Structure 1
Amino acid sequence: MIEYLQKQNVDNKLIEKLEKYRKENGLFDDPRVIKPEFKYYGKEVLEESISALLAGKNILLTGAKATGKNVLAENLSYLFARPSWNVSFHVNTDFSSLIGADTFKDNQVTFRKGPIYEASTRGGFAVLDEINMAKNEAISVLHASLDHRRIIDLPGYEKIKLDPNTRFIATMNYGYVGTREVNEALASRFMIIHMPNITKENLDKLLADTFTKLKEEYRKAFIDMFISLQFKSENNEISTKSVDLRGLISAIETMQIGLNPYDAILMGIANKSFDEFEREIVIDTIKTKIPSQIKESIFND
């Protein structure tokens, strides 16, 4: 992973500081230190996020769909060699689902630890996914953990001080059903990084790294198609529904099984648009890049 940073020309001094942190604090044998399935590509964002985390700060990743927020969070946990816990927020998220609650086990009351409690006491990285889906009263229980106090105050228990290695990485999208504005008190507890749309160059690196046997001509065609859809979305010609990087990757994975590339792209990209007019625009864009029938294999043997 360090070589991956060097290939992206991440500042060498920053890499040296990260390597020092890993040597002093890395938990390489912990089962919760999980190697990410995909690498995040974006020099500036990597430098900003690594710098903030090395400084002991928490970060909030904002931006549109398909900008790689969750991928970046997974990469950061692995780069720092720290165990990670993922919390998916929703309207019913409450104190007990985050911190834990009393439960009855073996004929006695015991405390069932939640993911925030575990990450806080074990020096882990807590990924707070879609943090703007939760109600403010649920988020408020995190305030003392996220600011300079770095404590968890459990009613009926002693205050718990956070491990020095604990970090919080929150993600949020705007415009999804159920999302809301993040309040000022919460935003002030994070360093905020706006995630840009993936560039053509970085998408090429991602697909080349993920699908090593994919023929270059088809990789370029898929990239041109995705960037064209992204451009239409940026100009409000279509919504972001079909600008789905996960969908593109899933489509290529089904092509590896043997599905016709055009049909796979329809499943992974075009069919994400449920408005018929928009779907036709997406399909027309796909047709300009991907033939409906490809007789040869798109992968090298």
Structure 2
Amino acid sequence: MNLYQNADTTILEDAVNMLQLKKNILLKGPTGSGKTKLAETLQLKLNRPMNSINCSVDLDAESLLGFKTIEVIDGQSQISFVEGPVIQAMKEGHLLYIDEINMAKPETLPILNGVLDFRRTITNPFTGEVVKAHDDFAVIAAINIGYVGTLPMNEALKNRFVVIDMEYISGDILKQVIQEQTLLQDDLLIDQLIQFNKDLITMAEQGQVSEEASSIRALLDLCDLTSIMPVERAIKRAIIDKLEDEREQQAIINAMELTF
């Protein structure tokens, strides 16, 4: 597995230390800045399993805590409870990764307040069981600021986290990531694509294109595709055709023509 890399080595160092202090970490940054990769790297560093929650407007208590179901045991039907990611992680001492936490409806997440503060407990509303977190239990959440479909994060919830603000990786570290994680090895083309990505980041910051177009994830896909097709077509497949807005598409075509 490829590990998270950044010229700012304090990001990984601080994240490990925060989790060992039992702090809840909020990773804040644009799409594709490496938030999920950092969470996976922390899992490896701490050698703990990780349960994940992908937030959306449809997230509800059952998605977080679990649900009741009917199963047949020794020929008899009985109601049992299937534990969700929060309950599993708390009981087993796993890491809990909550992705895109500000995509969830504000009324859904307060159920976790007791899990995330000094109490580290929750009363399961489906069973009445009071669950106390294992000593190794820790929470990592990720947030995309200003992304389409996101909502302002509840202040009471935000106050339960310490924050790591993550930017796009760049320069020599980005070049190393491309060389290690993609099929592209042409130094000159890699440098051109890094410059092209830098232009897209500037455009995203100015609101001309979406963050998804300038993400490292999109750049790595683009690098792989350029190993088997012309760069202009690779950009079309990896970035342009993902966009719905014709103005965004044209802005990227213009940037492509300037670079290549």
Which of the residues 172, 176, 190 maps onto 1:201?
Answer: 172
Residue pair 2:31, 2:211 contacting (<8 A) in 1 also: yes
Partner of 1:124: 94
**Separation in 2 of the partners of 1:235 and 1:177?**
15
Residue pair 1:38, 1:210 contacting (<8 A) in 2 also: no
Partner of 1:14: none
% identity of equivalent residues: 31
Summarize the Cα distance change of 1:236–1:101 in structure 2 as closer, same or farther, 3 Å threshold. Answer: closer
Which of the residues 77, 92, 105 maps onto 2:43?
Answer: 77
Quick check: 1:229 aligned with 2:194? no
Summarize the Cα distance change of 1:101–1:273 in structure 2 as closer, same or farther, 3 Å threshold. Answer: closer
Residue pair 2:49, 2:94 contacting (<8 A) in 1 also: yes
Task: Classify the secondary structure of the residue corresponding to 1:136.
Answer: coil
**Separation in 2 of the partners of 1:213 and 1:231?**
24
Residue pair 2:4, 2:34 contacting (<8 A) in 1 also: no
Cα shift readout 1:88-108 (whole Å, capped 9, x = no counterpart):
111121111111121111111
**Separation in 1 of the partners of 2:143 and 2:208?**
23
Quick check: 1:167 aligned with 2:138? yes
Cα shift readout 1:183-213 (whole Å, capped 9, x = no counterpart):
1110111111111232223311211221376
Partner of 1:136: 106
Partner of 1:52: 18
AA aligned opposite 1:181: P
Structure 2 residues not aligned, in runs of 5+: none
AA aligned opposite 1:214: Q
Deviates more, 1:144-153 or 1:242-251: 242-251
**Structure 1 residues 106-117: aligned runs within 5 Å:** 106=72, 107-117=77-87
CA drift at 1:84: 0.8
Equivalent pairs counted in the alignment come to 254
CA drift at 1:236: 4.0
**Separation in 2 of the partners of 1:226 and 1:38?**
21
**Structure 1 residues 176-191: aligned runs within 5 Å:** 176-191=147-162
**Separation in 2 of the partners of 1:122 and 1:245?**
33
Residue pair 1:244, 1:269 contacting (<8 A) in 2 also: no
Cα shift readout 1:239-276 (whole Å, capped 9, x = no counterpart):
434213222212223344x2333211221123334332
Task: Classify the secondary structure of the residue corresponding to 1:91.
Answer: coil
Residue pair 2:226, 2:234 contacting (<8 A) in 1 also: yes
Larger RCO, structures 1/2 (Cα 8 Å, 6+ apart): 2
Structure 1 residues not aligned, in runs of 5+: 1-34, 291-301
CA drift at 1:76: 1.2
CA drift at 1:69: 1.3
